[in-house]
Amino acid sequence: MTSQTKSAPGRFATALAAAGSLTLLSLAPAAHAETTAEPGDVVVSENFDSGSMPAGWRAVDGDWQVEDGRLVGTAASGTKKLTFGPHLKDYRFEATARFERVNEATRWFALGLDVPASGATPWWIATLRSGSTASNGVEFAQLTPAGAWNVTNTASAPSAAATGRDVKVRIEVHGHQAAWFLDGKQLMKTNQLQRSADGGLALVVNGARVSFDDVKVTALGPNGHLRPEGAPVTVIAHRGASSAAPENTMYAQEVGRRAGADLIENDVQLSKDGVPYLMHDNTVDRTTDGTGDITTLTSAQLDRLDAGSWFAPSFAGARVPTLARQLADLRTRGGDLLLEVKRAHSREEVAAMIDVVRAERMTDRVFVQSFSRDHLRWVHELAPELPLGLLVGTLDADPVAVAEELHLSSYNPSGGALDTRPGIVADLHEAGVATMVWTIDSAAQWKRYDGYGVDAVITNRPAELVGWNQARAQGETVPAPTAAVTSPADGAVLDRAQRPVVAVDTEHADAAKTEITVDGRPHKAGEALDLTRLTAGEHTVRVTATGASGSAVATATFTVGADRAGLGHLILTSGGTPQTVADLLGRLARGKYDQLANAAVKAGRTGDLPAGAAELIAADARQLQQDADTR
């Protein structure tokens, strides 16, 4: 495939192409241009086969070179980055990457998701550590203007990226939302990206040497509610975590957020004086200590109600929240809202709800659903940027046509309705419309609707569904780790003057959990063996590689030979007194091995020769005498 970057006039910032080694280009920083790409357009496709740095790719700092058909970034210390590409709101960023060398298992590389062309802060990245099975093996994080890291999300990968192994990373971004994929499986999501007006893309390395290949960026449609390949169902907390806290309260929202729900679903109605409150029923009787239709009660009356005691004594004093309070909490503490317009008799009443969404600056984090088609039509007229979902208890004859008519991002049937025609999920997906099924609370049902391919499940039990998703991911086949000792080679015969480096090769293993021993004593990969400290004869290198699916063990046996050259090297490097070294070398030259052994032992006792060296010299000398006697 020809190496290329797809572009159009005005799409990319002007930059400089350069071949060979790049450490820092002295360009005036340029903003990333907004692209006019359509969904599905591949706006960046680069395999580096040209052998030179692509046009428009800017090495801000560090050592970035194209070598052997791969882009190689080196950061001996600290964080180094390279910027490229256009500004995109909705996109998929893919790359094949390999850790070539790391300072330690905590070092990382990242795909930059919103980074100024100059590399100036703030910027957002999706990170992978070489020890990716750690609790923070993958991350979403921001480097703030103050130079501090704001890590918003962490997760653990099922197997270690390690070194020398290609991994496929993929990030799908929709505005402030992003999903993290490793080798085709989603590891985590975030809804906390803070997007700039012109930030582009980047590759980043930290304390490592990393090579990249097959970098591809694809423009996506705005509907981020469609389930990407390799992702679990989206978890939507019905009325908050309503199985664990009083519904439609801030307690339920907090429990749902801490459970890991992707969206909080709540019902909104207007008070007598036109203030939007969270309430499912027409009356406040069931879920508060008050009585009456919510539309007959003023905000002052609603604010005095206890909305928690009915659920459990520990929630006594919980209040009926306003929509404004709920949105402010989601904006400042994290979370997106699936807002159900429960009851509104006019366009003006719907407008009162939309006005609050706008006032709280949450139009990019609110999804509106309703059973009323008029409600959805009014929302589209008032705020066409808001995604819409139609709730149905009985399927329409042609859900796709209804979705087109109402400008739906999602068609949301009950579980029972969907059971009558599960094939509509595929039909809706073909039309670019998601499916959110409600209200599903058991593992058997989750499995069924997951099999239908639904994009999201609305549930009263978000924590349990999050755990079910995780258990399903862990239950998938994870490759078994492999291990091999590559140096010293099995069966090698070495002399004292050699200094072989211990090297191992592992796959699907956690680098932090890889153990290497020489004759049972711990050793580090990359460290040379000091053969002047080993006895003549056989020695064993053992590596134990541990991964998500078990452990693998490999050994290699090498022999330290006793010969005249090796014995001479031992004597010269022994640290003995000059007179002792000269005496021992003289006996070696005359072939007096027994005398040499006795002299070494004596010198060790008198302190003229270090004790450890005396033992090794004596042992080698006796072996040489034995060899001479048998010839």
DSSP tag of 272? T
Residue with tokens 């069931």: 286
Residue 238 a catalytic site member? yes
By the 10 Å C-beta count (0-12 exposed, 13-18 middle, 19+ buried), 610 is classed as middle
Residue 331's identity, in one-letter code, is R
Name the residue among 31, 80, 39 with its Cα closest to residue 199: 31
Residue pair 254/262 in contact (Cβ under 8 Å)? The answer is no
Helix (H, G, I), strand (E, B) or coil at 621: helix
Q: Measured between alpha carbons, how far is residue 463 from residues 259, 377, 468 in Å? A: 5, 34, 9
What is the number of residues in the chain? 631
Give the pairing of strands 177-182 and 166-174.
Answer: antiparallel
> Which candidate in 176, 225, 238, 508 is catalytic?
238
Residue with tokens 């806290």: 245
Residue pair 394/365 in contact (Cβ under 8 Å)? The answer is no
Helix axis angle, 347-359 to 373-382, nearest 10°: 50
Name the residue among 259, 232, 236, 256 with its Cα closest to residue 338: 236
| DSSP track, 320-384 | --BHHHHHHHHHHH---EEEEE---SSHHHHHHHHHHHHHTT-TTSEEEEES-HHHHHHHHHH-T
First-to-last alpha carbon distance for the chain, in angstroms, is 65
Q: Give dist(CA 599, CA 585) in Å, integer.
A: 11
**H/E element holding 572?**
helix 564-572
Helix (H, G, I), strand (E, B) or coil at 488: coil
* Residue 308 token pair: 């928690």
> Which candidate in 280, 375, 508, 539 is catalytic?
280
Q: Give dist(CA 503, CA 505) in Å, integer.
A: 7
Helix axis angle, 443-452 to 462-475, nearest 10°: 60
Give the pairing of strands 434-437 and 410-413.
Answer: parallel
Residue pair 340/267 in contact (Cβ under 8 Å)? The answer is yes
Q: Give dist(CA 305, CA 407) in Å, integer.
A: 38
Residue pair 87/197 in contact (Cβ under 8 Å)? The answer is yes
Residue pair 418/452 in contact (Cβ under 8 Å)? The answer is yes
Name the residue among 341, 345, 246, 238 with its Cα closest to residue 286: 246
Query: Which amino acids are annotated catalytic?
Result: 238, 280
